[in-house]
Amino acid sequence: MRRPALLLFDLDGVLAHYEHAPRLRTLAERTGASEAAVAHALFESGLEREADLGRIDTDGVLVTLGERLGVPVSLDDCLAARAAAMQANDAVLALAGAAARRARLAILTNNGLMLRDHFETICPPLAPLFAGRVFCSAQFGLAKPEPELFRRCLAQLGVAPEEALFFDDKPDNAKGARRAGLRAHTYRDEAGLRAHLAAYDLLEP
């Protein structure tokens, strides 16, 4: 198969393991609110989704969270909570690093601007490979699996859809990428990713 010019990754569930529980626990500990209150204010209320779609910026998230929890919420609080929820997937990171010798790398994630703007603080192990090439749904006002999101992201990177290869742990997102003209696969495990990268001539023998 023809080698792609760009290797585009989803973040949570692919490049990093993600869990809600540590995020809720950390934010609760730092604010004195209950985990249930944090879950309602951030997730059940739709605030996280609004941020992912770019309908509310980072300052707006902090203010809204503070109002709903009844206590001030700082940027540091939210960054610490987001960082606690993530752990780099070292096996995938190693494969990405190897593939970087043959293709450009970038991330496309359904996330708010806070993650893009503070990526090095939130997930330091990924920064050397991806800093400056982290694209969030909030930038475009669209979320995966919308095909137009992929087109707009690639336009910023100056890459044609047929020159990009995308991996996401959600099958619907991979389908959305294919509808936009990218080559795309569902990430399941390290072995599968390695096989795909080898098939696209992205790994040295």
- Give me the CATH number covering residue 148: 3.40.50.1000
Is pLDDT at 131 greater than 90 in this prediction? no
Average pLDDT, the chain: 97
Can you give the CATH number for the domain in which 32 is found? 1.10.150
Of the residues 64, 84, 104, the one at which a domain ends: 84
pLDDT digits 0-9 by tens, 57-74: 999 999 999 999 999 999
Residue 35 included in any domain: yes
Burial 84-115 (b: 16+ CB within 10 A, else e): bbbeebeebbebbeebeebbbbbbbbbbbbbb
Q: pLDDT class for 177, splitting at 50, 70, 90?
A: very high
Are 64 and 93 part of one and the same domain? Answer: no
Q: pLDDT class for 205, splitting at 50, 70, 90?
A: confident
Range of the domain at 149: 6-17+87-199
Are 189 and 95 part of one and the same domain? Answer: yes
Helices (H) and strands (E) in the chain, counts: 13, 7
pLDDT digits 0-9 by tens, 77-128: 999 999 999 999 999 999 999 999 999 999 999 999 999 999 999 999 999 9
Are 149 and 195 part of one and the same domain? Answer: yes
Are 27 and 108 part of one and the same domain? Answer: no
Are 70 and 98 part of one and the same domain? Answer: no
Are 61 and 95 part of one and the same domain? Answer: no
What is the model's pLDDT at position 124? 96
Nearest to 8 by CA among 189, 125, 130: 130
Are 195 and 152 part of one and the same domain? Answer: yes
Q: Is 140 exposed, middle or buried (CB count within 10 Å of its CB: 0-12, 13-18, 19+)?
A: buried
Alpha helices in 32-170, H assignment, sequence order? 35-39, 47-52, 58-69, 75-84, 90-99, 113-117, 119-122, 127-130, 137-140, 147-157
Is pLDDT at 1 greater than 90 in this prediction? no
